[in-house]
């Protein structure tokens, strides 16, 4: 069967041997895993041995697109970046937007799998069939901005670039991949995986056409899609603030992470919110094909450009007690230049500040101390002094530091929690607990629904919403691969994706299939990956949110006194497992693997842990 939408090709590069090959795949694989995260988890599951060191040449980096990627259509300029995570030792991925998505697909591939380690610092150049590994002399050691600009001087403006900064080179465990000076992806240390392979950058250039099942209908549908987004009543406000509107919303609803997730409100929230940002804004940036362009470009305190999103500002602002957006923007820009994840960075800075307060930190750093924070960002990036400890992430730092610090090391499975305080949001806490990469909001951002409903409740209602969102966001959007913001922010109907899928591939899949069976299959496999890594050590406590939310009630704001209830959380978690067909340890049952067409995978996992029928 001829594929439309999918190119049907995966480019494989072994950096140790310089071997390049093209793997073809057919409709079975395409329909079973769709693309993006689906392809990535299947490849990593099949090809990585359990226990492999995430920073060794044996780890593999998968860069995967989906059938909608790179084509005209709202927010299709996205890519999944995946590998075994050096931060969590589990499955890790991130989603990055940019021209790289378009060029990968136009070069004729749907995914790129990179293994081994280059002998010397190098970058990979892919132009259609021409693939070469080139010397990174002159860009190794440079910031992401400088390196990308130099690559554009050499290869022209119209290319896609995925690049790491000094943090990735120095194997900071939460180093990320950067593109276009402000797109960032791969929170669980995908930048460090590139660094461990001596791979500074990937440059992509494609000039081919992607075959479409019904080009005419596709063009018409795309036109209607853009129109529908633009006609939404919130479009003009979105254009003004993008995700920055969330600062004000979180403050109102007591979910703004403040002082290392101790509180949900910040005295100086007004100084870092979307309105303050508007006064500093000079332009917008975004991914190709997008008419929402969410990146707010502001001028920071040092008169340089910085691209702001909600998570960056909350984690480098209120969470470290810094109520000055010009200064927050400097920290944010440094994170982009060095190629380091802002969420984990904010959490690690806050961890050091709290450790100082508790007398556990040698080189003290006070809450909100901008100059000291700047210096510490550099120390983390270059692994100097105590920055070396923080470069490992808060989980390992707390294990080393002791003194009860594991109580306020804010992470799940080693991945630092993104910017929503959950003292009074049990559903969002469950979303963090069960996210397939550690504490990330990307799979189930249920917080907005939760605060408008039975907010403090536990049980089935919360479980159902978390699973519904995981299926749509973590399943459908991460496999198609498309940006979820039109849907979640501007009410863009999910049915459009079904229509786009049909015009592109010629295949009719319902929403229930795209965000149901396929999504569940991928979830089962991501969970299996984690369990295989941890073996018999795996237990349901891996899915617990940070202790602080259970043990230290909020002392301020409308929910003063609020905290999570451990017994109710556990009951809700068990219910979640039941609905997913997992056992009481959180491991998928054999019957669940069977139902999802993963029989071979069940046999493999059965070699590592006992499976319940």
Is residue 309 involved in binding ligand PTT (CB under 6 A)?
yes
Q: Which helix (H) or strand (E) holds 79?
A: strand 78-84
Site for ligand PTT in 431-470 (CB under 6 A): 442
Q: What is the number of other CB atoms lying within 10 angstroms of the CB of residue 111?
A: 26
Contacts of residue 364, defined as CB under 8 A and 6 or more positions apart, other chains included, come to: 356
The C-alpha R_g of the chain, in whole angstroms, comes to 22
Q: Which DSSP category does 265 fall into?
A: -
Helices (H), 144-187: 144-155, 166-169
Is residue 483 involved in binding ligand SF4 (CB under 6 A)?
yes
297 vs 612, beta carbon nearer ligand PTT = 297
Evaluate whether 315 touches 220 at the Cβ level (below 8 Å). Answer: no
Residue 64 C-beta-side C-alpha neighbours within 13 Å:
28
Q: What is the number of other CB atoms lying within 10 angstroms of the CB of residue 148?
A: 23
**Closest-CA residue to 252 (of 265, 271, 238):** 265
Tell me the closest approach of the beta carbon of residue 592 to ligand PTT, in angstroms: 25
Is residue 375 involved in binding ligand SF4 (CB under 6 A)?
no
Tell me the closest approach of the beta carbon of residue 2 to ligand PTT, in angstroms: 28
Of positions 33, 310, 530, 559, contacts ligand PTT by CB under 6 A: 310
Tell me the closest approach of the beta carbon of residue 477 to ligand SF4, in angstroms: 10
Tell me the three state secondary structure of residue 84: strand
55 vs 483, beta carbon nearer ligand PTT = 483
Scanning 24-32, 124-132, 181-189, 424-432 for contacts with ligand PTT by CB under 6 A, the matching segment is: 181-189
Distance, CA of 60 to CA of 43 (rounded, Å): 9
Contacts of residue 440, defined as CB under 8 A and 6 or more positions apart, other chains included, come to: 187, 415, 418, 432
274 vs 588, beta carbon nearer ligand PTT = 274
Tell me the closest approach of the beta carbon of residue 340 to ligand PTT, in angstroms: 6
Is residue 480 involved in binding ligand SF4 (CB under 6 A)?
no
Of positions 176, 329, 405, 479, contacts ligand PTT by CB under 6 A: 176
Q: Which does 354 bind (CB under 5 to 8 A by kind): ligand SF4, ligand PTT, none?
A: none
Q: 410 vs 199, 369, 397, 573, CA distance in Å? A: 30, 20, 11, 19
Distance, CA of 87 to CA of 109 (rounded, Å): 29
Angle separating helix axes 460-469 and 426-434, nearest 10 degrees: 50
- Taking the CA atoms of residue 95, residue 100, residue 105 and residue 108 in that order, the dihedral angle to the nearest 10 degrees is -130
Q: 106 vs 102, 126, 207, 430, CA distance in Å? A: 6, 11, 5, 39
Q: Could you tell me whether strands 9-14 and 111-115 are parallel, antiparallel, or unpaired per DSSP bridges?
A: parallel
Q: Could you tell me whether strands 122-127 and 199-205 are parallel, antiparallel, or unpaired per DSSP bridges?
A: parallel
Q: Which DSSP category does 589 fall into?
A: -
Of positions 68, 99, 256, 292, contacts ligand SF4 by CB under 6 A: 292
Scanning 12-20, 23-31, 206-214, 479-487 for contacts with ligand PTT by CB under 6 A, the matching segment is: 479-487
Is residue 342 involved in binding ligand PTT (CB under 6 A)?
yes
Is residue 71 involved in binding ligand SF4 (CB under 6 A)?
no
Is residue 286 involved in binding ligand SF4 (CB under 6 A)?
yes
Is residue 485 involved in binding ligand SF4 (CB under 6 A)?
yes
Of positions 311, 369, 421, 520, contacts ligand PTT by CB under 6 A: 311
Instruction: Tokens for 178, please give them.
Output: 């950067």
Q: 52 vs 89, 315, 360, 437, CA distance in Å? A: 9, 31, 33, 17
Of positions 67, 73, 97, 562, contacts ligand PTT by CB under 6 A: 97
Each residue 134-173 as x (binds ligand PTT by CB under 6 A) or -, in order, gives: ----------------------------------------
Tell me the closest approach of the beta carbon of residue 54 to ligand PTT, in angstroms: 16
Of positions 11, 82, 290, 353, contacts ligand SF4 by CB under 6 A: 290
Scanning 9-17, 92-100, 258-266, 491-499 for contacts with ligand PTT by CB under 6 A, the matching segment is: 92-100
Tell me the closest approach of the beta carbon of residue 365 to ligand PTT, in angstroms: 20
Distance, CA of 371 to CA of 379 (rounded, Å): 12
Of positions 86, 160, 168, 186, contacts ligand PTT by CB under 6 A: 186
Of positions 4, 37, 60, 78, contacts ligand PTT by CB under 6 A: 78
Tell me the closest approach of the beta carbon of residue 97 to ligand SF4, in angstroms: 4
Site for ligand SF4 in 88-147 (CB under 6 A): 97
Q: Could you tell me whether strands 411-412 and 61-64 are parallel, antiparallel, or unpaired per DSSP bridges?
A: unpaired
Compute how many residues bind ligand SF4; rule: CB under 6 A.
Answer: 11
Instruction: Tokens for 140, please give them.
Output: 């190794």
307 vs 543, beta carbon nearer ligand PTT = 307
Is residue 243 involved in binding ligand PTT (CB under 6 A)?
yes
Scanning 152-160, 286-294, 321-329, 564-572 for contacts with ligand SF4 by CB under 6 A, the matching segment is: 286-294
Is residue 287 involved in binding ligand SF4 (CB under 6 A)?
yes
Q: Which residue is nearest to ligand SF4 (CB)?
A: 286
Q: What is the number of other CB atoms lying within 10 angstroms of the CB of residue 581?
A: 17
Distance, CA of 422 to CA of 257 (rounded, Å): 9
Scanning 26-34, 37-45, 310-318, 455-463 for contacts with ligand PTT by CB under 6 A, the matching segment is: 310-318
Contacts of residue 504, defined as CB under 8 A and 6 or more positions apart, other chains included, come to: 4, 5, 67, 68, 71, 212, 213, 218
523 vs 538, beta carbon nearer ligand PTT = 523
Q: Which residue is nearest to ligand PTT (CB)?
A: 94
Q: Which helix (H) or strand (E) holds 28?
A: helix 27-33
Distance, CA of 397 to CA of 410 (rounded, Å): 11
Tell me the three state secondary structure of residue 96: strand
| Cα of 9 vs its chain's centroid, Å | 25
Instruction: Tokens for 464, please give them.
Output: 């159902």
Is residue 317 involved in binding ligand PTT (CB under 6 A)?
no
Q: Which does 387 bind (CB under 5 to 8 A by kind): ligand PTT, ligand SF4, none?
A: none
Each residue 484-523 as x (binds ligand PTT by CB under 6 A) or -, in order, gives: xx--------------------------------------
Sites of contact with ligand SF4 (CB under 6 A)? 75, 77, 97, 286-287, 290, 292-294, 483, 485
Sites of contact with ligand PTT (CB under 6 A)? 78, 94-97, 176, 182-187, 243, 287, 307, 309-312, 335-336, 340-343, 442, 477-478, 483-485
């Amino acid at each position: 069967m001829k594929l439309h939408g999918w190119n049907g090709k995966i480019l494989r590069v072994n950096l140790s041997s310089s071997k390049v090959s093209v793997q073809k795949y057919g409709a079975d694989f395409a329909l079973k895993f769709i693309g993006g995260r689906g392809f990535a988890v299947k490849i990593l599951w099949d090809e990585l041995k359990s226990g492999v060191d995430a920073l060794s040449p044996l780890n593999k980096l998968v860069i995967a697109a989906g059938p909608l990627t790179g084509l005209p259509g709202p927010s299709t300029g996205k890519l999944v970046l995946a590998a075994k995570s050096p931060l969590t030792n589990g499955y890790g991925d991130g989603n990055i937007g940019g021209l790289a998505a378009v060029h990968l697909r136009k070069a004729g591939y749907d995914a790129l799998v990179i293994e081994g380690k280059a002998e010397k610092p190098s970058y990979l150049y892919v132009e259609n069939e021409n693939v070469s590994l080139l010397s990174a002399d002159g860009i190794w050691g440079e910031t992401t901005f400088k390196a990308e600009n130099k690559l554009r001087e050499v290869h022209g403006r119209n290319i896609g670039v995925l690049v790491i900064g000094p943090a990735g080179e120095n194997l900071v465990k939460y180093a990320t991949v950067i593109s276009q000076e402000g797109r960032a992806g791969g929170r669980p240390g995908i930048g460090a995986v590139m660094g461990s392979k001596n791979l500074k950058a990937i440059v992509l250039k494609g000039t081919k056409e992607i075959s479409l099942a019904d080009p005419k209908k596709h063009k018409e549908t795309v036109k209607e899609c853009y129109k529908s987004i633009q006609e939404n009543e919130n479009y003009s406000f979105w254009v003004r603030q993008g995700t920055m509107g969330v600062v004000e919303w979180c403050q109102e609803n007591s979910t703004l992470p403040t002082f290392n997730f101790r509180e949900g409100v910040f005295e100086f929230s007004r100084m870092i919110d979307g309105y303050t940002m508007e006064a500093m804004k000079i332009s917008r940036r975004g991914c190709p094909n997008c008419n929402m362009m969410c990146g707010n470009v502001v001028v920071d305190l040092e008169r340089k450009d910085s691209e702001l999103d909600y998570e960056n500002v909350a984690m480098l602002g209120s969470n470290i007690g810094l109520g000055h957006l010009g200064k927050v923007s400097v920290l944010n820009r440094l994170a982009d230049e060095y190629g380091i994840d802002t969420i984990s960075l904010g959490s690690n800075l806050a961890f050091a500040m709290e450790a100082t307060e508790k007398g556990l930190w040698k080189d003290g750093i006070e809450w909100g101390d901008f100059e000291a924070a700047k210096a510490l960002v550099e120390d983390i990036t270059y692994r100097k002094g105590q920055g070396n400890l923080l470069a490992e992430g808060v989980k390992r730092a707390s294990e080393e530091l002791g003194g009860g610090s594991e109580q306020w090391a804010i992470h799940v499975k080693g991945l630092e929690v993104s910017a929503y305080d959950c003292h009074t949001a049990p559903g969002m806490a469950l979303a963090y607990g069960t996210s397939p990469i550690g504490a990330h909001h990307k799979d189930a951002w249920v917080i907005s629904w939760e605060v408008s409903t039975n907010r403090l409740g536990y049980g089935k209602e919360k479980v159902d919403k978390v699973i519904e969102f995981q299926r749509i966001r973590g399943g459908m959007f991460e496999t198609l691969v498309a940006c979820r913001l039109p849907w979640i922010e501007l009410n863009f109907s999910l049915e459009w994706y079904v229509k786009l899928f049909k015009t592109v591939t010629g295949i009719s899949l319902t929403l229930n299939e795209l965000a149901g069976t396929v999504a569940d299959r991928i979830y089962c496999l991501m969970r299996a990956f984690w369990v295989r890594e941890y073996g018999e050590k795996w237990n349901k406590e891996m899915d617990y949110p940070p202790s602080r939310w259970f043990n230290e009630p909020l002392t301020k704001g409308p929910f003063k006194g609020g905290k999570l209830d451990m017994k109710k959380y556990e009951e809700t978690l068990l219910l979640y497992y039941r609905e997913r067909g997992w056992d009481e340890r959180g491991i998928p049952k054999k019957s669940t693997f069977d139902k999802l067409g993963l029989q071979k995978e069940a046999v493999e996992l059965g070699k590592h842990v006992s499976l319940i029928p």
